[in-house]
Amino acid sequence: MSRPTDPPEELTPAEANLGKALALIHKALPRLDDPARRTEVQKALSKAASLIDAARAAHAGSAPEAASLAVQDVSTSVPAEIVAVIAAAVSVVIEQPHRLVSVQQVLLPVVPHLNVWALEGRTQIFLSHRIR
């Protein structure tokens, strides 16, 4: 029989909003590949993004210095729901402590004769070679 050592602390509004956002993302991740549920997934990710914004605002009210540093560390021009999905995917894949530093959209040059399948084939060949 175990005894509790300390009573659980109350969650701050920022922590509560982040917890809700993570729960929504966790529920939406398995449905990403299902085209029939895209509206449901989009609504869940939009709600998660608004909860993240609310958490950021709540955190900024409690610790303005820390909030400004966090905003400076993560430079992004990508919508918040996409950043949330990327962060969740990284968390699932890495399974170790990590920090999302930046998310940037990659702009490919517009080349009408570019064969993306050939490019993917070359990429796979290069990845199969052993680096010395």
Series of mean pLDDT values for 10-residue runs along the chain (132 residues): 56 84 86 84 85 82 47 58 83 82 76 77 87 70
- For position 66, what pLDDT does the model report? 41
For position 17, what pLDDT does the model report?
85
pLDDT at position 117 is 85
Helix, strand, coil tally for the chain in percent (to 5): 65, 5, 35
CA 92 and chain centroid, separation: 11
* In the chain, where the domains are located: 13-105
pLDDT value of position 7: 47
pLDDT value, residue 5: 54
Both structure tokens of 130? 């052993």
Instruction: Say whether 80 sits in a helix, a strand or coil.
Output: helix
What pLDDT score was predicted for residue 69? 38
- Strand 75-76 and strand 102-103: the pairing is parallel
pLDDT score at 78: 78
Q: What is the pLDDT of residue 6?
A: 53
